[in-house]
């Protein structure tokens, strides 16, 4: 309990709000690396995921690559990319590593959102004379948006937690407090920075959860509400049993 109080005292100390090592500065650095990495991953993975979901081609390969990429150790990947790119380009190497970690979740959310749509809706759109681009942009993208945001949500949470390791290669972010406190055995600073990272992850998760909820088309939400408010349907006759008509 004393350690928790010490960590809270460290967090709310006036010294944490001023200087080059202030919490707001490190928080902005953390958000910058997270935002730019998820954005680049989205620009790469969303078009590929939509193509796979719309055409149905390459799904097995995408699933295999996504599964293998999710098994990569974050810290090991970061160090490998830094060694390949060079320590003088540590920011670029860090972003590349974070993008590689974010792509699988975004890719899975993009193509699974398209695949989850009832094929009868797609057939109805084609029957009305819509082109493939119109089907993709007007039907598949809006209906698949909730699952896509779910993929972005998973990617953002993974990157937020992994950006903590950026401080190990000399970059900023909230992880700098942890790596600075370990050799000095400042446990209050370590716990305080860990609390900051957890709170940031919870806020990011809440924002994406809200966006995911708001992205559900009105027709779908209205249909759910109608079925919920409607009367409970009567018991159905078993299959194969005769139906009596009056």
Select the more confidently predicted residue: 205 or 225. Answer: 205
Please provide the DSSP assignment of the chain as one string. Answer: -HHHHHHHHHHT-GGGGSSTT-HHHHHHHHHHHHHHHHHHHHHHHHHHHHHHHHH--SHHHHHHHHHHHHTS-HHHHHHHHHHHH-GGGHHHHHHHHHHHHHHHHHHHHHHHHHHTS-HHHHHHHHHTT--HHHIIIIIIHHHHHHHHHHHHHHHHHHHHHHGGGGGGGT--STHHHHHHHHHHT-HHHHHHHHHHHHHHHHHHHHHHHHHHHHTS-HHHHHHHHHHHHSPPPPPPPPTT------
CA 108 to chain centre: 11
pLDDT per residue as tens digits for the range 41-97: 999 999 999 988 888 888 788 778 777 777 777 778 888 888 888 777 888 888 998
How large a percentage of the chain has pLDDT more than 70?
88
Give 242's contacts (C-beta < 8 A, 6+ positions apart). Answer: none
pLDDT per residue as tens digits for the range 170-193: 788 888 888 888 888 888 888 888
CATH number for the domain formed by residue range(s) 21-217? 1.10.3720.10
Report whether pLDDT(124) > 60. Answer: yes
| Domains of the chain, residue spans | 21-217
Looking at residue 57, what is its pLDDT?
84
Looking at residue 224, what is its pLDDT?
52
Comparing CA positions, the residue from 119, 121, 146 lying closest to residue 221 is 146
Q: Say how many C-beta atoms besides its own lie within 10 A of residue 78's C-beta.
A: 24
């Amino acid at each position: 309990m004393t350690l928790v109080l010490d960590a809270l005292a460290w967090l709310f100390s006036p010294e944490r709000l001023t200087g080059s090592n202030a919490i707001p500065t490190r928080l902005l650095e953390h958000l910058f690396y997270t935002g730019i990495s998820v954005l680049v991953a989205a620009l790469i993975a969303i078009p590929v995921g939509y193509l796979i979901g719309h055409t149905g081609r390459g799904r097995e390969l995408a699933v295999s690559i996504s599964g293998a990429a999710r098994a990569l150790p974050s810290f090991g990947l970061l160090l490998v990319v830094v060694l390949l790119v060079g320590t003088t380009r540590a920011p670029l190497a860090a972003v590349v590593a974070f993008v590689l970690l974010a792509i699988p979740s975004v890719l899975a959310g993009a193509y699974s959102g398209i695949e989850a749509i009832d094929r009868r809706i797609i057939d109805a759109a084609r029957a009305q004379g819509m082109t493939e681009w119109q089907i993709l942009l007007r039907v598949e993208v809006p209906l698949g948006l909730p699952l896509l945001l779910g993929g972005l949500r998973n990617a953002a949470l993974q990157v937020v937690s992994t950006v903590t390791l950026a401080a190990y290669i000399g970059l900023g972010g909230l992880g700098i407090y942890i790596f600075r406190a370990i050799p000095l055995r400042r446990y209050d600073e370590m716990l305080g920075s860990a609390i900051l990272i957890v709170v940031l992850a919870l806020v990011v998760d809440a924002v994406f959860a809200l966006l995911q909820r708001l992205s559900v088309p009105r027709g779908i939400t209205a249909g759910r509400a109608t079925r919920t408010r409607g009367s409970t349907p009567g018991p159905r006759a078993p299959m194969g049993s005769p139906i009596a008509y009056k």
